[in-house]
A and B are shown apart, each in its own frame.
Chain A
Amino acid sequence: MSTAYPLPTNLSTTTVTNTASLLRIVALGLISAAAIASRLFAVINFESIIHEFDPWFNYRATRVLASQGFYEFWNWFDPTAWYPLGRVVGGTVYPGLMATSGVIYNFLHAFHLPVDIRNICVLLAPGFSALTAWATYMFTKEMKDESAGLLAAAFIGIVPGYISRSVAGSYDNEAIAIFLLMFTFYCWIKALKTGSALFGTLAAVFYFYMVAAWGGYAFITNMIPVHALTLMLMGRFSSRLYVAYCSWYAIGTLSSMQVPFVGFQPVRTSEHMGALGVFGLLQIVAFAQLARSHLSSKQFQNLLTVSVVAMGVVGTFGFIALTYMGWIAPWTGRFYSLWDTGYAKKYIPIIASVSEHQPTAWPSFFMDLQLLIFLFPAGVILCFRELRDEHVFVIIYSVVASYFAGVMVRLMLTLTPVVCVSSAVAFSSLIDTYLDPTQPEGEEESEADSSNGTNTAATPSKKEKAKKPAASTSALNDIVTAATSQSSSKSKSKGIWGLDTRLIVIVNAIGMLSFFVFHCTWVTANAYSSPSVVLASTNPDGSQHIIDDFREAYYWLRQNTPQDAVVMSWWDYGYQIAGMADRPTLVDNNTWNNSKSHIATVGKAMSSSEEVAYPILRKHDVDYVLVIFGGLLGYSGDDINKFLWMVRIAQGVWPDEIQEPNYFTPQGEYRVDDRASSAMKNSLMYKMSYYRFAELFGGNNAMDRVRQQTMPKVGPTLDYLDEAFTSENWIVRIYQVRKEDLLGRDLKSANAFAQGKKKKKSKPVSRRKAIPV
């Protein structure tokens, strides 16, 4: 047989297999290292710090878990959150993340390795990303072969779509959830392929772990049933499917109900009904199969028609009836917002106000996936070519996840794994085709090209390449053709001719891979590695300037206020205040809470005038109010820009008192300068943001750099609050709520008196009429 380049012939099959598996292990190791390393930008550029908002709660909870043990954590009632409602943390949290860190912590300490819990939390996500790479490898291996698996592992290791949620310090549920997602899917595919109850059970165990770790477990809960249902509709029902699904569903559902936060949801809510329905359908189909083997076909046809109709009717009506009777909770708002992107804005402004719940912008697909987004459809089409059971899974997964990723930014995360998998399938098919040394008949010998594998940059693709020639150096019948057996056997007359053709495509492909690596590195370093607690800017000379206002302010609170001083802020900062300042907060990021009216209360206080807000503040024992103001520095994520959400949320509860149009100018503009509406100018938020702002400019026109508007020369005055602290760049401003006046006056007149203004003379309240005699 002629080959495009010479192959060594004196190697035994065992040697090739062993070398290949050794190289695979080395490659996986390097991929893991790259995955971990690229996530450490945040630590190197800033420091080992917990990022953003939610991770601060997870970190705080983990500290409780590590110091007091699991049972205390389970029973932890946090009196400082949602003051004064408190939060039953054990019953309102997915404990998987904290439990994982706690286990690692205790494990290390059992070996007398005194690792700080903070470092475990910071580095947990990078560590699990290595595991994700491995899980993706296993999953893709089931789809195609090991080489595709390695490619997929390399992709998921460095793809920005996943890094965005798993850089060091991003200590969030997603950090471990993607690994669990991929591994559960792998176990499911394995169980389905082999019909093994063991793998079905394993899938259930990892499903349980997933349930304990992330609210997104509902994705698995619905993906697997949809897959099973599709297979049944395709007429692919088999005992393997039956065993795999039933073992997964029974064990998975029972164990998921052990998580306190989930409780009876798997049997009570609509989101879980699909899985239950498919479970029931499987039993019926299995029974039908059994009946078919025992009955004549005529009888069976009748039985089938009748039973299918009866079951369908009974099932549907039963579901509707149970929903109406309240046994099954209807779909939640977050679910509706998946189908109607305008739903949340209309009915649940809190959900809509979260930026990661917004629909995805198109550029972010390229930003997060780059090359893979082009390879992705190719991989899906390749899946259609073979269309084994597991390929159906990938196809369904791609369709569903693509839709969801388009609807919500944060669901980009669930799309990323399948993009990596199917891109890897596509890319490895390409490489398989063009590296396959088999020449079509009559092809002349071409010179050896062993430099293929060495001329690439130090990238994951190199590992892939390094393995590939080695695998194909001999015994191609064993390895290469095993994967592409059909094509290679048929490629006698049709195929790739010549080395030059091969080289053009291969070099191109390698070039694309290297650009991908550069892109990933750049995006990771520049876009996703900012802790958002600490901001960085660049000095004119190019050096980095750290803006540390948040921590400055939180530590001020920690050092200068009583332990039980209640701090009110918009909910975004609740977890950070609790974590860094250790003070009770009125509202925090745990917005699923049933106390939405509590958030609305804060919104109302912020958007009302001082006189209206003051009784609210006093009722909730608020001592300090914290606002984020970016006008001086041009920090656009400040409270004035979020202000309309506060107004909207407050309007939802008090439509008579707060109306959104009042905060716009008559022309419908959102302005903060002279032309701002009076409701805007009198609102507590406006006053707190711009209090004494104009003085900073010493008589010149004060300029709000975020809104690009010139502020009036005379700023707002405050009667009910005192400025307590303003951070270096004015990003965080803290106000102290004044106590009631000593003499029972309202604070406005008390303030006027203290400033020496004369009080208007009042008249006695006459209870008697003067009747002239």
Chain B
Amino acid sequence: MWSFYTFILLIFGFVSVLDAKSSSGNSVLVILDPARQPDYSIFFNGLKEKGYDLTFRAPKDEAPVLIEDDIPSFAHVILFAPDSKHFGKDVTPQALVQLLSSQTNLLIALGQKQNLVTSLAPEFSLILPPPGSSLVSYFPERKEPPTVVPIDVPSSSKILSSSSSPVWFSGVPFALGNNPLVFPILSAPAEGFAADSEGSTADALFDAADKGGEGLWAGSQLAVAAGFQALGGARATWVGGVELFSDEFAKKEISKGVKSGNQQAAADLAAWTFQESLVLRIDSTTHHLVGTSVPKEHYTTNDVVEYVAQISRFNPSKDKWEPYSGLDDLQLEFTMLDPHIRTALPPVPGSPGKYAVTFRVPDRHGVFKFVVDYKRKGWTHLQSSTTVPVVPPRHDGYPRFLSAAWPYYAGAISTSLGFFLFSAIYLAGDPREGNLRGLRAKSTKAQ
């Protein structure tokens, strides 16, 4: 019986090893002091079980390099060296940004000391408190020191499993700039603030805010974990303290008998960072006249056009892209300099992953673009732009006869008829008639 369970577990383990992986690759480089590697065994083992391929490198090592011949060597990089002063010479802030631009995801932990990581953070619109600060909170009352803070997982979080219990955190909180690409994953508690030492109080904080002009480092506007969705598609996650991932915090109980949510939160953070969760893509877009199915090279003004987009979402448990109809706020723009039409692009009921809208092309010729630009915090950005010229009607595409033009038609017809009648009478008329004498004289003259 026991062996049967083991067998089942093994099977499950196997399946998960085979299937559960990221949408962008499995190789992970972990930059971490080897001495501290065992401290995070639960987190790393979890990753390994999911099928990731971990490579460890001490901060000061030179190999394996991050980028070789301009091609990143790994799909994901974990930087758990908040206290290292020196790094291998290929690990620079510029190199890390270059990694992001070549679709490598970053999971970065901040520390209290000034180093490479703290100088990189401002580029991501993270605003760090003065060096040496850490998050301090005296609530709720507990036996742990005030710098070890339990933080509730927000129930609305898409990234973290909302059902998990509070997460232990110890480290640096940071404020977020107004960059729309960065968003908090885990906010600091409302009672928390950043302070130099354990003993400092709120009064000291106010004094500092007043005197040094450092600003107010307090409250839930501060974040302890933030996600950054780079424009190229890569993701970066910043965590204020590396202890969040540690075995110690994972095993530490929140209250009697309630396990902390750290293990789950760490796994969720990694899953989002490594593009397992909330990953979308546009498989295809097409456009055609209503009633036909072939896209036209150009449309005529006032044509009625249907635009169709096919959208998939990555399913990490099956390692498969699946059609996804869950987006209800997708929009389509028909743009020339400015959007001439902006309309909802709703999912088509009955066909999974298909979003379609029908609209009338504006009465304006020019080079238009079908633009889908879907940027939501946490989700992959969806961007698609299809250029199509809108042309005026062809020379024979206008209405041929206009009822408004009847006066002109009547004029032309009556003139033609009159000319015809005149010619006929003039030519065939009898010159012997007395009252046509003048005419006769003329016609004889003409002869």
- A residues near B (Cβ < 8 Å) are 71, 74-75, 77, 79, 83-86, 88, 90-91, 260, 564, 584, 619-620, 740-745, 753-754, 756, 758-759, 761-768, 770, 772-773
Contact = CB atoms under 8 A, between A and B. Distances in A.
A767 B230 CA distance: 26
10 contacts: A75-B395, A77-B392, A86-B391, A88-B365, A88-B391, A564-B387, A743-B100, A753-B93, A763-B127, A768-B219
B231 A759 contact: no
B216 A744 contact: no
Given A762-B127, A764-B222, 5 more contacts: A74-B395, A79-B298, A753-B97, A754-B97, A770-B216
B337 interface: yes
B122 to A, nearest CB: 5
A77 B124 CA distance: 45
B392 A743 contact: no
Contacts of A743: 97, 100, 123-125, 179, 181, 228, 230-231
Contact of B123 (A260, A740, A753, A773): A753
A742 B175 contact: no
A768 B216 contact: yes
Nearest to B121: A759
Interface residues of B, number: 49
A742 B101 contact: yes
A536 B239 CA distance: 65
B62 interface: no
B391 A77 contact: yes
B124 A84 contact: no
B203 interface: yes
A92 to B, nearest CB: 11
A458 B179 CA distance: 80
Contact of A83 (B177, B217, B367): B367
B105 to A, nearest CB: 13
A740 B375 CA distance: 15
Contacts of B216: 764, 766, 768, 770
B94 interface: yes
Contact of B337 (A619, A764, A767): A619
A588 to B, nearest CB: 14
B64 interface: no
A83 B368 CA distance: 10
A314 B64 CA distance: 95
Interface of B: 93-94, 97, 100-101, 119, 122-125, 127, 175, 177-181, 202-203, 205-206, 209-210, 213-217, 219, 221-222, 228, 230-232, 298, 336-337, 365-369, 387, 389, 391-392, 394-395
B215 A766 contact: yes
A744 B181 contact: yes
A23 B6 CA distance: 117
Contacts of A758: 119
A86 B367 contact: yes
Given A743-B181, A744-B125, A85 B387 contact: no
Contacts of A260: 395
- Of B97, B125, B228, most buried by chain A (CB within 10 Å of CB) is B97
A292 B206 CA distance: 108
B97 A77 contact: no
- Of A742, A745, A761, most buried by chain B (CB within 10 Å of CB) is A742
Contact of B177 (A740, A742, A762): A762
B219 to A, nearest CB: 7
Nearest to B93: A753
B334 to A, nearest CB: 12
A75 B395 CA distance: 7
Contact of B94 (A79, A564, A754): A754
B206 A84 contact: no
Contacts of B177: 762, 765
B229 to A, nearest CB: 10
Nearest to B205: A770
B337 A765 contact: no
Contact of A772 (B179, B206, B232): B206
A770 B193 CA distance: 12
Given A84-B337, A744-B231, A770-B210, A764 B123 contact: no
Nearest to A761: B122
